Every structure is written in structure tokens, then in C-alpha cells.
Amino acid sequence: MKFFIDSADVEEIQNLTDTGLIDGVTTNPSLITKTGRNFLTVIEEICSIVSGPVSAEVTATDYETMIREGEKLSSLGTNVAVKVPLTFDGLKACKILSDKKIMVNVTLCFSSSQAILAAKAGATFVSPFVGRLDDIALDGMDLISDICEIYSNYPSIKTEVLVASVRSSKHVTEAGRLGADIVTIPGQTLRQLYDHPLTDKGLDAFLKDWEKGGQSIL
Ligand code: E4P
């Protein structure tokens, strides 16, 4: 399973990339705005840090402008994946950009019928938002299960399932159980994956015992 970082914070992305565990980055207009920085500069910087796909989202809603924005975003780095919303125009833009060999991430996916269309439009990635479905009392992971099952019926589908709107370590482990290709995780949630009180307690006890022995490895 691949791990993307869901962030536009360059310092955080650098720190997490240094672990060697990060395969890509996703951003969205809200995350970019939160940084208070220039969109294009931020994407260029992220592309220089991460060699895997970096999703940068168009903000136009008509397909012609989406394509122009997508081409501009794609020129910022060879690893840019242009993010388009799962709308009629977004699907049209996806098909045209994909035909031009530009990676496309179709975002804001909330149903399996939408995911089928994204694959049909040649999307590199489809982003179902699990947390936002949970927020309205549905089960986001049911959608991941459905999409993974449907895609697996058609080996010719190359679209990768990118689980987005991830809010907990449970979302990550469930995504792995269902065989999703990628999870995109905020930095804070990534830390939840390794933090465990018994790890901290155990390490503390080992180090206290070690100190009593007065030895040193180096
Ligand atoms: C990723 O591509 C999405 O933009 C992101 O996961 C949305 O997450 P949120 O629902 O927590 O805002």
C-alpha cells in the first residue's frame, strides 16, 4: 500500500519524506489557502522534495479552463497529477488530459458509479472521501470496498484507488485490508499509526534497565 501525505505544508512534507515512507502528496485548494503562500510556488517546492505523484487541483469548473489550468499545473513538475472534481466537466477534462499522458486524480468521489466513470475517463487515480461520508452517518469504507471489488472485475482498469479524507489509523488499516492502492494521510494521522503507549512504556523500561548495567554500545 502506498502512502501519500495530504498536506501543502512544505516543512511537514520534507520532514515526513525524510522517513523514506512517503510515496506522494495530495493538496487541495483549502490546504493551499491555509499556507497563505503562492499556489504555483508551493507545488514546485513539493515536486522538488517528493519524486512520487503530487496532486494539484484545478479551480475552474468548465472543462476548457480546467484543461488550461491542468496543463499549466502539469508544467510545474513531471510528477504533477492534475486534480479535477468528479463533475461532468471534470470527467471531460480528465479524458482529454489523460489522452495527453498527463496524470489525473479525479477527486470528490462519493459513489461507486462515479468511480466507474473516473476509470472510464482514464483517471490515474480516483479519490473517494471516506471521512466526509462518515460525517454524514454513512460508512466511507463501504465505498472503498465496492470500488475495489468493481475495479478488480476489470483487469484493464489501471485507475488506482486513492483513499482520501482519512481521519484515523482505522481508516488506514481498513484500506489495507480491502486492498486499496493508496491512502493519503494528514501528518497528524500518520503519527497515530506509530504512536502506542505500550511502545513508549516498554522502551522506557528497557532504557532504565540498560542504564543500571552501565554499558554502552559505542
Ligand atoms: C485529498 O485529496 C483530499 O483533498 C483530502 O483528503 C480531503 O480531506 P478532508 O475531508 O479531511 O478535508
Identify the residue whose C-alpha is closest to ligand 1 atom 5: 165
Query: Ligand 1 mean position to 78 CA, how many Å?
Result: 23
User: What pLDDT was estimated at residue 166?
Assistant: 98
pLDDT tens-digit readout, 40-62 = 999 999 999 999 999 999 999 99
User: What pLDDT was estimated at residue 165?
Assistant: 98
Give the chain's domains with CATH numbers: 2-212 (3.20.20.70)
Share the mean pLDDT of the chain.
97
E strands of the chain, at which residues? 2-6, 24-26, 54-57, 80-85, 103-109, 125-128, 160-163, 182-185
Residue 206's pLDDT band, with cuts at 50, 70 and 90, is very high
Percent of the chain with pLDDT over 90: 100
Mean pLDDT of 96-125: 98
Residue 83's pLDDT band, with cuts at 50, 70 and 90, is very high
For the question of residue 83 being annotated catalytic, the response is yes
CB-CB neighbours of 68 under 10 Å: 13
Ligand 1 pocket, mutate which of 58, 84, 129, 171 (most atoms under 8 A from CB): 129
Q: Which residue has the cell 466513470?
A: 117
Identify the residue whose C-alpha is closest to ligand 1 atom 12: 165
User: What pLDDT was estimated at residue 119?
Assistant: 98
Q: Determine if ligand 1 sits within 6 Å of the CB of residue 182.
A: no
